[in-house]
Amino acid sequence: MPGLLLGDEAPNFEADTTHGRIRFHDFLGDSWGILFSHPRDFTPVCTTELGRAAKLAAEFSKRNVKMIALSIDSVQDHLSWCKDINAYNGEQPTEKLPFPIIADKNRELAVQLGMLDPDERDKDGMPLTARVVFIFGPDKKLKLSILYPATTGRNFDEILRVVDSLQLTAYKKVATPVDWKAGDSVMVVPTLPDEEAKKLFPKGVFTKDLPSGKKYLRYTPQPE
């Protein structure tokens, strides 16, 4: 099945959305971008996800991240659905969210991007669009991909966390360890020699002693 792999450039598709027609690369501009997909409008899990995404829109904006969703129904259906989503959030039932929703009525983009769930099907026997999260860098290349089945809702706190990690590690010679959160210590990448690490990280580099005697677990406070 066609799809995107890490490092692939995002296709510069054109699409109708709840915010008008877009060309994807122009929409992203110099920002980071998140494209996340949904099986169908007016479905329960999707409504909760889009509601949460709308609540977090300001957090993504602070990180220079543009969000855009995709669902297989029409723009008109999307606009009507947005009223429900806003009402779910306890807000005025307006027709738009802080980010656009792409109309993919014929599943063309879902197929092109490899978003179809092979196991979950609709009443007509068609594969549902899976819950994909694609994160693109300012270079338009795919930095992270998470593929959930159609039945499992996303964790947007985790998506914010991985954005923080991706942006930090894109510009600093560090990696983020298990369960890392912004502000925690980070790990010095293995390819960086000790002497260079000491110069790059003036707050100090701390090595954990291991039975092997190998000094590969090197930590430093999160760099600015």
Q: Which residues participate in catalysis according to the annotation?
A: 46, 139
| Structure tokens that stand for 153 in this block | 């809702």
| Structure tokens that stand for 129 in this block | 């669009």
Overall size of the chain counted in residues: 224
| Structure tokens that stand for 7 in this block | 């490092």
DSSP letters, 118-174, are EEEE-TTSPEEEPEEEEEE-TTSBEEEEEEE-TTS---HHHHHHHHHHHHHHHHSSE
Helix or strand (DSSP H, E) at 200: helix 194-200
What whole-number distance in Å separates Cα of residue 168 and Cα of residue 183?
Answer: 11
Q: Which of 135, 115, 134 is nearest to 126 (CA)?
A: 115
